[in-house]
Amino acid sequence: MIYKQTPLYRFLMFCNETNLERTILDCGAGGETPPLGLFAEHGYTTYGIECDPVQIEIANTYAREKGYTLNINQGDMRKLDFADHSFSFVYSYNSIFHMRKKEVNQSIQELKRVLKPGGLLFANFLTVNDFRCGDGGDLGENQYEQFDDDLPVIHSYYSSDEPDVMFSDMELLYKEDRVLERIYEGTQIRQGFVDYIMKK
């Protein structure tokens, strides 16, 4: 199986290079090809949280078909229902920016809290280079209410260095400011992301 969330292959490589116990948490774990499957294939004990019950069921259907136990349950990354230092690895892929920046910061603090000392964290953020930045209801500070599948969703956009402050107490292992040009539903679009891999 090849997973479309390609930056997580790099995170897996970094995780594999450590001597930590193979426990991992995905915050925003739902969907039709849950990337926790990638880690399950490599022998990790996986846990995931997702706010949308429909996306949880889609992910769990996939897991059953593949014979994986992904342990995806309903949860909120702003207040994780796990003890301090529970996981060697935590990540949020294409999820954490679907809230206001104050809540994004709150969520990052929670990801760090449940991470073991020496553990690794991956998070990515939309950047102001994205073609949708500026669209929709303006909530200030490059935060907008936009529509995904006809539902209103908050999108927060960052300059490439803006998230740095949230990780000031961690060691930077990898950072990439990405701009993608691709065809989406017949139209060429430009997407902007900045990815972080951090060590506690």
Would you say the C-alpha torsion 91, 96, 101, 103 has a positive or negative sign? negative
What does the block give as tokens for 173? 């292992």
pLDDT at 23: 98
Mean pLDDT of the chain: 97
Instruction: Assign 112 to helix, strand or coil.
Output: helix
> Helices in 23-100 by DSSP H: which ranges?
36-41, 53-66
Distance of CA 138 to the CA centre of its chain: 24
In this structure, the number of other CB atoms found within 10 A of the CB of residue 8 comes to 21
Q: Are 48 and 74 in contact (CB under 8 A)?
A: no
Classify burial at 124, counting beta carbons within 10 Å of its beta carbon; exposed 0-12, middle 13-18, buried 19 or more. buried
Res 150 pLDDT > 90: no
* Beta strand residue intervals within 34-170, DSSP E: 45-50, 72-74, 87-92, 115-127, 137-140, 143-148, 151-158
Three-state SS at 14 = helix
Can you give the length of the chain in residues? 200
Rounded distance between C-alpha atoms, residue 159 and residue 148, angstroms: 22
pLDDT range class, residue 149, cuts 50, 70, 90: confident
Q: Does 142 score more than 90 pLDDT?
A: yes
Q: What is the mean pLDDT of residues 16-33?
A: 97
187-199/137-140 β-pairing: unpaired
Model pTM score: 0.96
Residue type, 161: D
Q: Which parts of 52-163 fold into alpha helices (H)?
A: 53-66, 101-113
Tell me what the mean pLDDT of segment 175-194 comes to.
96
Q: φ and ψ at 34, to 5 degrees?
A: -60, 125
Question: What value does the mean pLDDT take over residues 96-108?
Answer: 98
